[in-house]
Structure 1
């Protein structure tokens, strides 16, 4: 039971943070930049064209927020969240030349990516729609959990690869270390 409470808290926390990130971009909520400024920010991160890339990121964040919060299709929600946050982590770290949040790096989205990926390995727990629908990944255990988690992590990395490559290619020469 305490594992289920922990998984519920983790899912709701990540879901809320992703919802807030998405609505910062889409509507300027939670002191966010709104769509026009978000597009400009994405351009500085090497995500060109900025407007569609910001919209794509916000859509992914919203989808992951809904899936993770409800505990529905948790491996997919985890993969979407992990991939999106991995792109943010690399883009911010590359731009800042340092990985630490205090220097503008991507430490925080990297933590969110890893936490989301962890949910793909554990499953959503019994307090989820996955469990209510008796989906096989609701309470992950044994070799199946490893396969599901690894599959979600691989999907996240594959989906993140192109935007990460775009970010690295856009990095100015002599900008500094990317993983400071």
Structure 2
């Protein structure tokens, strides 16, 4: 059962206020987090916000062992941009969450040797993963493109599907990194 379906049937004002607060909280979380992730993608793809741009980004991916760098670097930029925008808009939220979560798992793997809370470790990837997984389970909330649509998805089953898709995509990416 989603917050949206509960809100419409709830007669108790305190419960309606709590549901409204949840929807506002999800809106803030989605927009800020989604746009920040999308901005990371634009840094990689277009060099916006003092980013490296596609050529330098792809060269950096080559140096990190992602060969061919053109493929993996472009894939990372597109994943961040697309997944971030989907989350910010609240459109196809399980898909957006899966894209960002899969990217975050690869980030965690790539930066794991740096340790936790060292400034060069995997804390950023872990943060991205936690927020994306949370949004996969909660759904986008009422104030989203999908908010009152029949195709809006959230809850346990859709959260588990998004996590499974993310893990499979991340594992395949890391296998291709090792093989190519």
Question: For the superposition of Structure 1 and Structure 2, which TM-score range results when normalised by the shorter chain?
Answer: 0.7 to 0.9
The worse-fitting range, judged by mean Cα deviation, of 38-47 and 54-63 is 38-47
Contact 2:44/2:52 (8 A) holds in 1: yes
Contact 2:141 2:147 (8 Å CA) reproduced:
yes
Is residue 2:44 matched to residue 1:28? no
Structure 1: stretches of 5+ with no match in the other structure: 171-180
* Cα root mean square deviation, aligned: 1.7
Rg (Cα) greater in structure: 2
Could you state the TM-score of these two structures normalised by the residue count of structure 2? Answer: 0.82
- How many residue pairs match? The answer is 160
Deviation string for 1:74-102 (max 9, x for gaps)? 01110011001211221122xxx223353
Cα separation, 2, equivalents of 1:46 and 1:106? 17
Q: Report SS of the residue matched to 1:130.
A: coil
> What SS does structure 2 have at the residue aligned with 1:104?
coil
The one of 157, 174, 178 aligned to 1:147: 157
TM-score by length of 1: 0.82
Unaligned 5+ runs, structure 2:
1-19
- How far is the alpha carbon of 1:163 from its aligned partner? 2.2
Match in the other structure for 1:130:
146
Q: CA deviation at 1:46?
A: 2.0
Instruction: Report whether the alignment pairs 1:112 with 2:128.
Output: yes
**Structure 1 equivalent of residue 74 of structure 2:** 55
